[in-house]
Each structure stands twice: as C-alpha cells, then as structure tokens.
C-alpha cells in the first residue's frame, strides 16, 4: 500500500513514520536509532544543542545504525530585550525560583552563531536528512546542503507556509496541525490564525503543494498514520508517541505526566520559551497566564526559564517543568520504540486488509 511512495524513496526508509526531532534531550541516540533500525526515520532534536554535542550524538547514532536518520534544527531569530523587560521577567519568575531555592538569572544568554555552527556539523557529518523548524533558512544554506545530497524537510502550519517551503526548495514538508505537542512551527502570519486542526490542514496543504507532505499533530498509532495518508500525506511525524517510549531521554516526570493525563489537560503557552507550545497544564503555565505579553521573545524567554526547568526536574517538581504533549495522550504507551512502530505497522496492515 505504501511501498512505493516518493517519501520513502527520498528518505530511503521502509515505513512512512518519522520520529519528530524534539529538542531538550528527548531524542537520545538510542531513540533515534531504535526508530531508524525499525525502518522509520529517527531524528535528533538538535535545536538547542551545541555543535560539539551534535557531533557526539551523530557519531553515536552512526555507530548504532546504518539506516538513514535526520537532524532537526531551529531557524534562528534575533530579538532584543531592554533592561526593563528583562527585569520584569525576572520579577515574574522570582516566585518559581524562590520555591526551588535558586537564584535569579540576570540576563538571557543566546549564542547568535549557533545555527551556522549547527549547519556546519550537519554538512561535515554528511547527515542524510536535515529538518527545519521555525522558518526557512537562507537560500545559500539550502543550496549548500542540497549539494551535499542532504534531504531537506521543512515545517508548515498553514497552506501558505507549505507553499513557501516548496518554493524555497525543501524536498518534503511536515504539515503540523493544532493537535501537535511542543512548539508551533509557525513562521509566517499570526500564531492564533495558524492553529489549524490536522484533519483540515492535511488535505488543504496536499492540494496546494507537489512535494510530499508529512502529517503531524495528534497522530499516535496506526489509525492516525493511515488516516493521514488518506487525507493526502505520504507519511506521518510522531512526537508525543515517542516521548514516553523506553529509549526516550525525556525526564521521568514528563513521561509519567503524558501517560496519566487526558486529552483536555493540555494548553498552549508561550511562558516557557517565548513561542507558543502545547504542554500539559501545570502550575507554571497557569500562574504565567495573563502575563504572556510581558515575556521576552523566543529564544530569550527560553534562556530565562532554563534554570527553573532544569532544577524542577532535579527536585521532582513537574509543576514547574515544560511537559510538552499533543492532544492524544490517552493513546500513549510506555513501550520500546520498535514495539511502537511495529504496532503501528500491524494496525495499518489490518486496516488495509
């Protein structure tokens, strides 16, 4: 049924399943390679990673698999913040820091050359697939990577963004529906207008681009993957489904939260990073509600909350952690990545019969 799609050919994989390149330590080399070795595409979520760490992880990945894999990076933006804005955010974050007994960070720290350095490692390591979130990189980067034979995947949350990805030379576009956990990939137009459900987004995107479309958002099992393909996608990208799996590097509290929550318990928030993202509603999200217009832009806000998130995990205080999750947590399972993929394939074959 899906043995000859352009997507499978482009990516040189067996099953139309991409593990999303989630940042923040979820995508261990063990997870990436478990997915790739089972015939899907594992992806290292390198968005926040230093170039040396990316190089290390890629080398581990290459040691653990001969199959293709991807690396996901964040197209950068360079916002500014005044001293006053920073002081105000420190004020807003103080109650959480006090609860955790840590001192205030005085300034956001962002490496403005990070993306360039990440791209250099991706080229140097001849990574088979590179995917982008939060925008489309400059044409010289796109041409450079394509010259190296690297397959490029862009992210879109609207039809217009999908068309921009195609026009820029992306080989594949992930269409991310509003159900998706973690950050919105929106880069053109307002966030609120770009919250399009997967059921609506996929056919409308598929009708307007000719490159292969990959569906994302709320997809956790064979029903979701097969439904996506009927809607016009050639495959699906799953994030939350892999957060809870055994090889995932997600914090235990994060895994437990997903495994025990309901579809009504996620919320969109900008409070952790400055960009809208979907996570399980907790104290941090609720207490920051109403202050979102005072936060710093991404990635400055992300830098400001880093200490809180890290310390909250150490002290086992999930109420202050970013517990990213899509809207289908009732479908989550604590199995190995291979078992998850095999059960997806089994379900899909059953549906096809």
Site residues (CB under 8 A) for its own copies?
A: 158-160, 177-179, 189, 192-194, 196-201, 203-204, 207-208, 217-221, 223-224, 226-228, 230-232, 262-265, 267, 326-328, 330-331, 351
Is 86 or 268 the residue whose CB approaches its own copies more closely? 268
Q: Tell me how far, at minimum, the Cβ of 239 lies from its own copies, in Å.
A: 13
Q: Tell me how far, at minimum, the Cβ of 260 lies from its own copies, in Å.
A: 14
Is 3 or 82 the residue whose CB approaches its own copies more closely? 3
Is 63 or 350 the residue whose CB approaches its own copies more closely? 350
d(C-alpha 105, C-alpha 108), whole Å: 8
Q: Tell me how far, at minimum, the Cβ of 262 lies from its own copies, in Å.
A: 7
Q: Tell me how far, at minimum, the Cβ of 318 lies from its own copies, in Å.
A: 19
Q: Tell me how far, at minimum, the Cβ of 270 lies from its own copies, in Å.
A: 15
Is 143 or 262 the residue whose CB approaches its own copies more closely? 262
Q: Tell me how far, at minimum, the Cβ of 139 lies from its own copies, in Å.
A: 26
Is 44 or 243 the residue whose CB approaches its own copies more closely? 243
Q: Are 274 and 296 in contact (CB under 8 A)?
A: yes
Q: Are 198 and 215 in contact (CB under 8 A)?
A: yes
d(C-alpha 325, C-alpha 254), whole Å: 9
Q: Tell me how far, at minimum, the Cβ of 14 lies from its own copies, in Å.
A: 21
**Is the four-CA dihedral 216, 221, 222, 224 of positive or negative sign?**
negative
Residues in the chain, total: 353
3-state secondary structure 264-319: HHEEEECCCCCCCEEEECCHHHHHHCCCHHHCCCCCHHHHHHHHHHHHHHHCCCHH
Q: Tell me how far, at minimum, the Cβ of 27 lies from its own copies, in Å.
A: 22
d(C-alpha 152, C-alpha 165), whole Å: 10
Is 168 or 188 the residue whose CB approaches its own copies more closely? 188
d(C-alpha 86, C-alpha 76), whole Å: 20
Please choose, from the candidates 2, 17, 65, the residue with its C-alpha nearest in 3D space to the C-alpha of residue 339. Answer: 17
Degrees, nearest 5: CA angle 328-254-108: 110
User: For residue 72, what are the β-bridge partners?
Assistant: 45, 131
Please choose, from the candidates 130, 133, 109, 143, the residue with its C-alpha nearest in 3D space to the C-alpha of residue 307. Answer: 109
Is 20 or 61 the residue whose CB approaches its own copies more closely? 20
Is 204 or 334 the residue whose CB approaches its own copies more closely? 204
Q: Tell me how far, at minimum, the Cβ of 201 lies from its own copies, in Å.
A: 7
Q: What are phi and psi of 183, to 5 degrees?
A: -75, 145
Q: Are 151 and 129 in contact (CB under 8 A)?
A: yes
Secondary structure class of 172 (helix, strand, coil): strand
Is 208 or 315 the residue whose CB approaches its own copies more closely? 208
Is 27 or 228 the residue whose CB approaches its own copies more closely? 228
Dmax over Cα atoms in the chain, in whole Å? 63
Q: What are phi and psi of 176, to 5 degrees?
A: -100, 110
d(C-alpha 275, C-alpha 269), whole Å: 8
Q: Tell me how far, at minimum, the Cβ of 91 lies from its own copies, in Å.
A: 25
């Amino acid at each position: 049924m899906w043995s000859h799609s352009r997507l499978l050919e482009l990516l040189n994989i067996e099953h139309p399943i991409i593990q999303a390149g989630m940042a923040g330590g979820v995508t261990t080399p063990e997870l990436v390679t478990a997915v790739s070795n089972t015939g899907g595409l594992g992806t290292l979520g390198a968005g926040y990673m230093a170039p040396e760490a990316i190089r290390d992880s890629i080398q581990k990945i290459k040691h653990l698999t001969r199959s293709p894999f991807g690396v996901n990076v964040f197209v950068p933006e360079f916002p500014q913040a005044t001293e006053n804005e920073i002081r105000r955010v420190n004020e807003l974050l103080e109650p959480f820091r006090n609860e955790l007994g840590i001192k205030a960070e005085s300034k956001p720290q962002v490496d403005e050359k990070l993306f360039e350095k990440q791209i250099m490692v991706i080229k140097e390591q001849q990574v088979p697939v590179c995917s982008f979130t939060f925008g489309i990189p400059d044409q010289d980067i796109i041409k450079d990577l394509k010259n190296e034979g690297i397959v490029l995947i862009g992210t879109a949350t609207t039809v217009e963004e999908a068309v921009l990805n195609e026009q820029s030379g992306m080989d594949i576009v992930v269409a991310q529906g509003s159900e998706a956990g973690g950050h919105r990939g929106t880069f053109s137009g307002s966030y609120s207008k770009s919250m399009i459900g997967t059921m609506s987004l996929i056919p409308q995107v598929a009708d307007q681009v000719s490159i292969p479309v990959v569906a994302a958002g709320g997809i956790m099992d064979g029903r979701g993957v097969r439904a996506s393909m009927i809607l016009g996608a050639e495959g699906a990208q799953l994030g939350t489904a892999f957060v809870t799996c055994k090889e995932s590097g997600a914090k235990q509290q994060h895994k437990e939260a997903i495994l025990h929550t309901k579809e009504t318990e996620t919320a969109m928030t900008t409070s952790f990073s400055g960009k809208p993202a979907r996570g399980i509603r907790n104290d941090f999200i609720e207490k920051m509600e109403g202050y979102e217009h005072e936060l710093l832009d991404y990635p400055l806000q992300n830098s400001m909350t880093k200490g809180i998130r890290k310390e909250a995990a150490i002290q086992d205080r999930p109420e202050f952690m970013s517990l990213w999750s899509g809207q289908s947590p009732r479908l989550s399972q604590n199995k190995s990545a291979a078992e998850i993929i095999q059960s997806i394939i089994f379900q899909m074959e059953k549906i096809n019969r």
